[in-house]
């Protein structure tokens, strides 16, 4: 596998302090620079920035069906090593995360077999954490 470059992602949150605590305390992300309107995090080696944006009226979420599950779009997350997925999902359960899709194995025994789970942050941003049984199949067709 090639060496990866860290990505930068900026997302809106209407509850900056609640989300700041969520990313720092629940997900274990190290906090970096910040102001009264945004906070940088080391999101598993990538730069995630939460930016304050006033809450808008509720909108309908877009859902795509994948492996019989209702997957929220958009979403973002990290591909974890296979051996870390279970301990991370157990940590999230101990933090009382309300999963959109509980941790499970998708495409079991098939090309691209992966463990996956989905949940929302406190501002309603959907996150997916996954792990591939064989990391060389991340982009397999």
Q: Which residue has the tokens 């305390």?
A: 25
Q: Which of 106, 120, 127, 139 is nearest to 44 (CA)?
A: 127
In what helix (H) or strand (E) does residue 14 lie, and over which residues does it extend? none
Q: What letters, b where the CB count within 10 A reaches 16 and e where it falls short, cover 85-118? A: beebbeebeeeebeebbebeebeeeeeebbbbbb
Q: Evaluate the omega torsion of the peptide bond into residue 74 and state whether it is cis, within 30 degrees of 0.
A: yes
Confidence (pTM): 0.91
- In this predicted model, what pLDDT tens digit does every residue of 13-65 receive, in sequence order? 999 999 999 999 999 999 999 999 999 999 999 999 999 999 887 777 788 88
Class of domain 8-52: alpha beta
What gap in Å lies between CA 48 and CA 51, rounded to an integer?
10
Exposed (0-12), middle (13-18) or buried (19+): which is 42, by Cβ within 10 Å? Answer: middle
What gap in Å lies between CA 7 and CA 44, rounded to an integer?
10
| Numbered ranges of CATH 3.10.180.10 in the chain | 8-52, 62-137
Give the CATH fold of the 62-137 domain. 2,3-Dihydroxybiphenyl 1,2-Dioxygenase; domain 1 (3.10.180)
- In this predicted model, what pLDDT tens digit does every residue of 53-68 receive, in sequence order? 998 877 777 888 888 8
């Amino acid at each position: 596998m090639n060496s990866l470059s860290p990505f930068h992602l900026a997302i809106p949150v209407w509850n900056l302090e609640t989300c700041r605590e969520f990313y720092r305390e629940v997900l274990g992300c190290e906090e970096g620079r910040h102001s009264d309107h945004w906070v940088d995090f080391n999101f598993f080696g990538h730069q995630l920035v939460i930016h304050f944006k006033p809450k808008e009226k509720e909108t309908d979420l877009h859902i795509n069906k994948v492996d019989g599950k209702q997957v929220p779009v958009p979403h973002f997350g990290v591909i974890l090593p296979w051996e870390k997925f279970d301990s991370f999902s157990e940590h999230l359960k101990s933090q009382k995360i309300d999963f959109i899709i509980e941790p499970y194995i998708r495409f079991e025994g098939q090309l691209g077999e992966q463990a996956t789970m989905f949940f929302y942050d406190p501002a309603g941003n959907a996150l997916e954490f996954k792990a591939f049984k064989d990391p060389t199949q991340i982009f397999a067709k």
